[in-house]
């Protein structure tokens, strides 16, 4: 099998994870989908740059982050809640429990998008995507201690933001 074919098959299997990461990074379903599309296109165009002995997911995550950073530098993007407008379509059990869950999720996403971009990247890679500290450090090209520090600060800030937004707790 050719290297390009390996990448094509790998990208197909990675699409759900790439989409989840890109939506979390951008804060928007549309922007996330656009990031994934651009990253897949770039990966296919530059398939010769991928090292077959390295992880394809790490390489594509890095492409997504680079595209996101380039776009953020070129124009200011307003973050919006992932799936905004789709919340009403979520099927659920009892109405009260569903509304509370929606509010909790909305409050969490609002807090995440307030985090500095560096903290948000690490938080999404480690806690949402399940990468280890060293893998995240390699993807972001920063020391592992910086990953640990950013993650700790992100978790503390997130807890504070959620708690301040919900003073009854």
CATH number at residue 152: 1.10.10.10
Is the domain of 98 the same as that of 65?
no
Contacts of 3 (CB under 8 A, 6+ apart): 47, 48, 50, 52
Separation CA 77–CA 71 (nearest Å): 8
Residue 66 CA from chain centroid, whole number: 13
Domain total of the chain: 2
Is the domain of 54 the same as that of 96?
no
Which of residues 40, 62, 80 is at a domain's end? 80
Range of the domain at 34: 1-80
125 DSSP 8-state letter: I
Terminal Cα distance for the chain, rounded: 56
Res. 77 pLDDT band, cuts 50 70 90: very low
CB 123 within 8 A of CB 155: yes
Is the domain of 55 the same as that of 97?
no
The reported pTM is: 0.58
Q: Bigger pLDDT: 111 or 95?
A: 111
Is the domain of 68 the same as that of 107?
no
Is the domain of 18 the same as that of 76?
yes
Res. 1 pLDDT band, cuts 50 70 90: low
Q: What is the mean pLDDT of residues 113-139?
A: 90
């Amino acid at each position: 099998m050719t290297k390009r074919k390996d990448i094509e098959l790998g990208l197909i299997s990675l699409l759900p994870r790439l989409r989840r990461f890109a939506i979390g990074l951008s804060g928007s379903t549309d922007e996330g989908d656009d990031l994934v599309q651009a990253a897949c296109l770039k990966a296919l165009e530059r398939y010769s740059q991928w090292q077959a002995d390295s992880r394809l997911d790490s390489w594509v995550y890095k492409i997504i982050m680079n595209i996101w950073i380039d776009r953020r530098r070129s124009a200011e993007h307003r973050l919006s809640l992932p799936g905004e407008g789709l919340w009403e379509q979520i099927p659920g059990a009892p109405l009260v429990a569903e509304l509370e869950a929606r509010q909790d999720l909305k409050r969490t996403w609002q807090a995440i998008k307030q985090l500095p971009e560096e903290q948000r990247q690490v938080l999404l890679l480690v806690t949402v995507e399940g990468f280890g500290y060293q893998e995240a450090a390699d993807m972001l090209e920063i020391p592992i201690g910086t990953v640990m520090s950013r993650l700790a600060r992100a978790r503390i800030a997130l807890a504070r933001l959620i708690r301040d937004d919900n003073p009854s707790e």
